[in-house]
Amino acid sequence: MWKGAGIALGAVTLGAMAYQLFTQPSQPPQEVYYPPPPPREYVPGHWEITRERVPGTWERVWVPGYHDRWGRRVGGHYQERQTPGHYVERRLWIEGCYRYN
């Protein structure tokens, strides 16, 4: 009994597959479109001028003894002096490369 049911089920499944295969119109295969790569442009190397901030510095300087304007003696001592920061312009080489438009 179970053998007969298995055979019948297989026949129904196979018949349904054959029916779909022959009744459905066949479709052409899908075409895959790959767009061409964008055009490349060469940008040559060049120099760029950059401004960089150089921070100021503090230094401890020895000031030797001296006489002030009233004639009093001032002994030698250390004094902290600050050099102010400033900007420096530097030339920087930028390598050439390809870029996409």
32 lies in a domain?
no
Does residue 52 fall inside a structural domain? yes
- What digits encode the pLDDT tens for the residues 33-92? 999 888 999 999 999 999 999 999 999 999 999 999 999 999 999 999 999 999 999 999
Structurally, how many domains does the chain consist of?
A: 1
The overall longest dimension of the chain from CA atoms, in Å, is: 134
* The pLDDT value given to residue 6: 79
Mean pLDDT of 2-6: 79
Residue 34 domain flag: no
Q: Is residue 80 part of a domain?
A: yes
* DSSP assignment letter at 10: H
| Rg (alpha carbons) of the chain, rounded to whole number | 45
In sequence order, the β-bridge partners of residue 93 are 47
- Taking Cα atoms as reference points, which of 79, 46, 47 lies closest to residue 61? 79
Q: Which domain holds residue 59?
A: 41-101
